[in-house]
Amino acid sequence: MFCGVSKADFLEEEAPRLEEWLNRNYQGEMSYMANHFDKRLDPRLLVDGAKSIVSLALNYFPDNQQKDSNAPKISKYAYGKDYHWVIKDKLKELFQYIQDSIGEVGGRVFVDSAPVMDKAWAKKSGLGWIGKNTNLIHPKAGSFFFIAELIIDLELEYDGPIKDFCGTCTACIDNCPTEAIVEPYVVDGSKCISYLTIELKDEILPKEFKGKMDSWMFGCDVCQDVCPWNRFSKKHNEPLFNPHPDLLSLTKNDWEDLTEEVFQEIFRKSAVKRTKFKGLKRNIDFLSDTNE
């Protein structure tokens, strides 16, 4: 885990970028992205008296992957237990430790569940730079991290941002199956496979993406898998992120014949539950129909 601290302030650089991104409708049907615009840019509107953002990055890189190379694919972050609950418990422990150590401290914990611009704060806290795929990249550990934060009313010593080391590399842009990275550092969310397989709730996926899904049924790791910085990724040491014993051994046929009973067993406390059985079947059927 990495930790960095930044001053709770208005995100001046991010404000015009967010506005432009929303104006281009890159959020697709994620209408919540346009909500609480002011709070997204100023944590002091989210937490009374906020003075510091403590950003944390928790590794989730697995040591094993799906065995059948022809099977529909699941993003690595969803192999184990739902990260929201795993990390929130850790943050609550940290917050309690802070209060036990120095007395009453006001604040809140956040894990990808409120209008907080996680990556912007992690960048300001020196946990990495924002890559051309818009993921946070740590120079010694890559990008397979969950980001979370404590926003507290305590003044601390602040860290600063580090340099962007993407250089002239365009691997993520060149390899995105749906060309969702429309320019360096800008992703059209409505074209992203993660959006299509998780956020989009339509009965059928848009036909213009037939043959372009690269066999992903939940999320997508392509822009991270091809990133040179992820050669530094190391296996996580969080048992709760380990997959269900059967998950990685399921074959292409097993997935195509998936029953709701098996779905409920394998993904009992998983982030994959977000799609529900019906949504995952929709995605698998879409891949089958296009012979991917």
Task: Report the C-alpha gap between 133 and 144 in whole angstroms.
Answer: 13
Task: Report the C-alpha gap between 25 and 191 in whole angstroms.
Answer: 11
Task: Report the C-alpha gap between 159 and 123 in whole angstroms.
Answer: 10
Beta strands in the chain (DSSP E): 2-7, 52-59, 73-74, 107-110, 129-130, 136-137, 145-152, 181-183, 186-187, 216-218
Of 112, 159, 164, 254, the active-site residue reads 112
Q: Between vectors from CA 227 to CA 184 and to CA 141, what angle results, nearest 5°?
A: 115
**Nearest-10 Cα torsion for 278, 279, 280, 281:** 50
Spatial CA neighbour of 286 closest among 72, 28, 30: 72
User: Residue 244 has which token pair?
Assistant: 């269900």
**Residue 141 near residue 237, CB atoms below 8 Å:** no
The continuous run of DSSP H or E covering 200 comes out as none
112 is catalytic: yes
**Catalytic residue numbers?**
112
